[in-house]
């Protein structure tokens, strides 16, 4: 099975269980030619199955390849993923790209280097141990005797990777570990047409979808289309096609006011949302996550707390877009999907065709961390383009569609009971995490989960989202098991089987609630024991790398020498928190300074991280910094709002995110472990940032938040 993404199971490829296991995604994509190609003009093509979504992964993978092949970085060309030409690496998610794709490419390149040197040695008689590689040239004692480029046409990579390939030792790496400038940024900075949004093909038509009048609605009657505009309908799916984008926009707006829908109330009352979760949980699917019953001191006190998190949106600045074109009975879709093979599977099911009739070509689009509207818009573009065979169709979502119709990260509720001994030690932990599933991604169910699939004349049912297995990090219970030493544990998850609002993956999945709730309870227990919060955590932490990031963060923010500060008529506070993402990934400790005025502002963040081996230091710092800022936005502002029929937070006034003027100063320090495996950087800092801000609010105001976001209304 290939690596699991942040929101569930990866696309699977059968592997002979008798074969040796290969690193990362190479294990299920074993042929070297799937990954690498040399050209006679001195270029190395690298074909990852992971995709660029703004995280800088292409640069990291190019660094790894250049290092292992001993070629100049400028020779590496990363080829965008497509089906079926690229390796199937599942979904680009879960902070797993460097772990899965990087380790695969490192091994594949090491093996390619071994093969080419071996062939050169056989042809020239120069012992292989006497050959060195300099920018792709093979140098022996008497000078150059060959190169990758001279052997490019020899089909030497049409073999399975060998488990015996030996990547370079740490000390021999020249490029990995350095801050190479990102290869994708120059074109973005200078406005080159790089995104799928920028695609313009001959004869292209532009489309817009006319959304239902409610989350549950039946289309009863449609008006005539304006002149020059084509109406496309399949059941409750309604769209317009026009020669220009502006004509399509105007026509969709006009038809939306004239179409007749039968609607009904299906959404819960937002004011009683937490209670709704609890009541729905009584009808849900409860499963144990982890139970442990070791010897422990007697319990002297039990702390009980509940924490609530609303639905969260991805809120990408750029909206989702796709281009589709039919040729005969096959369709090509250009998409900024995170999982080309998974999208192909769902599109083929929704279209009731075979996977070989659907070609997905990845193009970059609006960045995201999690399952946003990119997959939904791809199916919609294919449905619309089917009405005009041979003609390319471009479909762009509006801001209201992006914020109102994309998948959301599920609302969550957790109940916690923590037992302490006479000396204040944490000796018991019981919790139940109530949530919808956190993976509604395509390709993981026989029933397509894409939005339009449930709106067709021959509609597919909407199935409740799933939770990935804990072996892959989990979904709702992600980070729900405290990383601290606790002898008695009973962690449960209740997956809601009712899904009035579609849920799926967003950065961190359940960790955003679980880390905050765990760290908040730790703070309360430390305070009750009369201990410093950092010292209390350290005496319950056995992992030396966890202790190191927490101690580094405390040093960075001057924790031990801090003094209580007051602003003019408002409070200033500092808090600290720690988590290891998925309890197996990167470590992050965050300190936050907040200022409480008419609302709470986060002014400074100190971030200490450990992501194992760091290939691109600047890129990793960017990831930890970005995750921390995202966490601050979720902590202080973000929440999806709704009435009984619709999402109401479908604009920037309704769905608030941090403005540039509100972004805190962020200081990041990474503890590098080049001898250790890659741990991923994209998601580690978000959840502990939320927890640190909650602790800082308590320091400033004496309030322990129990509901996100930490707005004046919720704090009151």
- Strand segments, DSSP code E, in 178-300 are 205-209, 217-221, 230-234, 237-242, 260-263, 285-293
Q: Length of the chain, please? A: 716
Backbone angles phi, psi at 507, to 5 degrees: -30, 115
pLDDT of residue 157: 96
Q: How far apart are the first and last CA of the chain?
A: 48
Tokens, residue 261: 């829908």
Tokens, residue 585: 């990934």
Tokens, residue 577: 């928190």
DSSP 493: E
Question: What residues does 370 pair with on adjacent strands?
Answer: 506
Cα separation values, 166 from 21, 539, 651, 673, 674, Å: 14, 40, 53, 19, 16
User: Which pLDDT tens digit goes with each residue over 376-409?
Assistant: 999 999 999 999 999 999 999 999 999 999 999 9
Q: Is pLDDT above 70 for 441?
A: yes
Q: Quick check: 634 and 690 in contact, CB under 8 A?
A: yes
Mean pLDDT of all residues in the chain? 94
- Taking the whole predicted model, whether its pTM rises above 0.75 is answered as yes
Share of the chain above pLDDT 90, in %: 92
What residue ranges do the domains of the chain occupy? 24-176, 196-263+314-405, 275-311+409-438+474-715
Burial code (b: 16+ CB inside 10 Å, e: under 16) for 220-236 equals: eeeeebeeebbbbebeb
Domain over 24-176 is classified CATH 2.30.140.10: no
User: How far is it, in rounded angstroms, from Cα 346 to Cα 441?
Assistant: 9
User: How far is it, in rounded angstroms, from Cα 438 to Cα 409?
Assistant: 7
The answer to whether 24-176 and 275-311+409-438+474-715 have equal CATH topology is yes
Strand, helix or coil at 475?
Answer: coil
Q: Which residues contact 535 (CB under 8 A, 6 or more apart)?
A: 526
User: Which pLDDT tens digit goes with each residue over 447-505?
Assistant: 999 999 999 999 999 999 999 999 989 999 999 999 999 999 999 999 999 999 999 99
Split at pLDDT 50, 70, 90, the class of 12 is: very low
Q: Which fold has domain 196-263+314-405?
A: Aldehyde Oxidoreductase; domain 4 (3.30.365)
One DSSP character per residue, 27-50 reads GTS-BGGGTEEE-TTS-EEE--SS
User: Which pLDDT tens digit goes with each residue over 511-527?
Assistant: 999 999 999 999 999 99
From 3.10.450.40, 3.40.50.10440, 3.30.365.10, 3.30.360.10, which CATH number describes the 275-311+409-438+474-715 domain? 3.30.365.10
User: How far is it, in rounded angstroms, from Cα 714 to Cα 696?
Assistant: 16
Q: Which residue has the higher pLDDT, 671 or 13?
A: 671
Q: Quick check: 667 and 628 in contact, CB under 8 A?
A: no
User: Which pLDDT tens digit goes with each residue over 38-75?
Assistant: 999 999 999 999 999 889 999 999 999 999 999 999 99
Tokens, residue 145: 């005797």
Q: Is 540 left (phi over 0), alpha (psi -120 to 50) or beta?
A: alpha
- Strand segments, DSSP code E, in 560-682 are 571-580, 587-596, 600-610, 665-670
Share of the chain above pLDDT 70, in %: 97
Instruction: Note the Cα 601 to chain centre separation in Å.
Output: 26
Q: Quick check: 414 and 431 in contact, CB under 8 A?
A: yes
User: Which pLDDT tens digit goes with each residue over 468-478?
Assistant: 999 989 999 99
């Amino acid at each position: 099975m290939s690596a699991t993404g942040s929101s569930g199971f990866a696309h699977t490829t059968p592997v002979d269980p008798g074969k040796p296991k290969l690193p990362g995604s190479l294990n299920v994509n074993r042929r070297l030619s799937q990954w690498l190609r040399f050209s006679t003009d001195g270029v190395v093509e690298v074909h990852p199955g992971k995709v660029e979504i703004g995280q800088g992964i292409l640069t990291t993978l190019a660094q790894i390849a250049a290092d292992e092949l001993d070629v100049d970085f400028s020779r590496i060309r990363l080829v965008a993923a497509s089906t079926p030409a690229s390796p199937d690496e599942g979904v680009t998610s879960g902070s797993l790209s460097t772990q899965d794709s990087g380790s695969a490419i490192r091994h594949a390149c090491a093996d390619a280097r071994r093969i080419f040197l071996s062939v050169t040695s056989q042809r020239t008689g120069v012992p292989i141990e006497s050959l060195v590689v300099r920018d792709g040239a093979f140098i022996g004692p008497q000078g150059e005797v060959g190169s990758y480029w001279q052997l490019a046409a020899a089909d030497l990579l049409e073999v399975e990777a060998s488990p015996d390939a030996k990547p370079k030792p740490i000390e021999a790496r020249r490029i990995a570990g350095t801050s190479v400038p990102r290869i994708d940024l120059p074109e973005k900075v200078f406005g080159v047409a790089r995104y799928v949004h920028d695609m313009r093909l001959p004869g292209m038509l532009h489309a817009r979808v006319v959304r239902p009048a409610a989350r549950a609605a039946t289309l009863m009657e449609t008006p005539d289309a304006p002149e020059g505009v084509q109406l496309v309908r399949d059941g409750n799916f309604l769209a317009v096609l026009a020669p220009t984008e502006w004509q399509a926009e105007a026509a969709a707006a006009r038809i939306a006011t004239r179409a007749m829908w039968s609607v009904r109330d299906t959404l819960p009352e937002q004011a009683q949302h937490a209670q709704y979760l609890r009541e729905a949980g009584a009808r849900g699917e409860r499963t144990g996550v982890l139970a442990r019953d070791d010897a422990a001191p007697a319990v002297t006190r039990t702390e009980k707390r509940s924490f609530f998190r609303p639905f969260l949106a991805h809120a990408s600045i750029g909206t989702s877009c796709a281009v589709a074109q039919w040729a005969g009975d096959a369709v090509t879709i250009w998409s900024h999907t995170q999982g080309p093979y998974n999208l192909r599977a769902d599109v083929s099911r929704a279209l009731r065709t075979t996977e070989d009739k659907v070609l997905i070509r990845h193009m970059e689009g609006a960045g995201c961390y999690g399952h946003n509207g990119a997959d939904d818009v791809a199916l919609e573009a294919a449905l619309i383009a089917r009405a005009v065979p041979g003609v390319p169709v471009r479909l762009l979502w509006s801001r209201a569609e992006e914020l109102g119709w994309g998948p959301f990260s599920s609302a969550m509720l957790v109940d916690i009971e923590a037992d302490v001994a006479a000396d204040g030690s944490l000796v018991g932990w019981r919790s139940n995490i109530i949530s919808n599933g956190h993976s509604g991604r395509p390709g993981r169910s026989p029933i397509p989960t894409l939005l339009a699939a449930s709106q067709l004349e021959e509609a597919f049912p909407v199935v409740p989202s799933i939770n990935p297995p804990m072996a892959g990090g989990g979904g709702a219970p992600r980070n729900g098991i405290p990383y601290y030493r606790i002898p008695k544990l009973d962690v449960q998850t209740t997956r809601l089987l009712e899904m009035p609002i579609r849920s799926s993956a967003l950065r961190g999945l359940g960790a955003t609630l679980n880390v905050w709730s765990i760290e908040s309870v730790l703070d309360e227990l430390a305070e009750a024991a009369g201990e410093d919060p950092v010292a209390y955590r350290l005496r319950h932490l056995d992992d030396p790398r966890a202790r190191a990031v927490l101690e580094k963060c405390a040093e960075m923010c001057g924790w031990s020498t801090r003094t209580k500060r007051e602003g003019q008529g408002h409070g200033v506070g500092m808090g600290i928190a720690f988590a290891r993402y998925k309890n197996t990934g990167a470590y992050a400790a965050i300190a936050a300074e907040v200022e409480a005025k008419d609302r709470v502002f986060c002014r400074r963040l100190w971030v200490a991280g450990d992501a194992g081996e760091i290939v691109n230091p600047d890129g990793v710092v960017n990831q930890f910094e970005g995750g921390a800022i995202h966490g601050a936005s979720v902590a202080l502002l973000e929440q999806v709002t709704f009435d009984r029929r619709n999402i109401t937070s479908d604009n920037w006034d309704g769905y608030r995110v941090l403005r540039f003027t509100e972004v805190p100063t962020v200081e990041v320090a990474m503890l590098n472990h080049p001898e250790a495996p890659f741990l991923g950087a994209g998601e580690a800092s978000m959840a502990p940032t939320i927890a640190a801000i909650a602790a800082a609010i308590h320091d400033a105001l004496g309030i322990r938040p129990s509901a996100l976001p930490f707005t004046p209304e919720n704090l009151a």
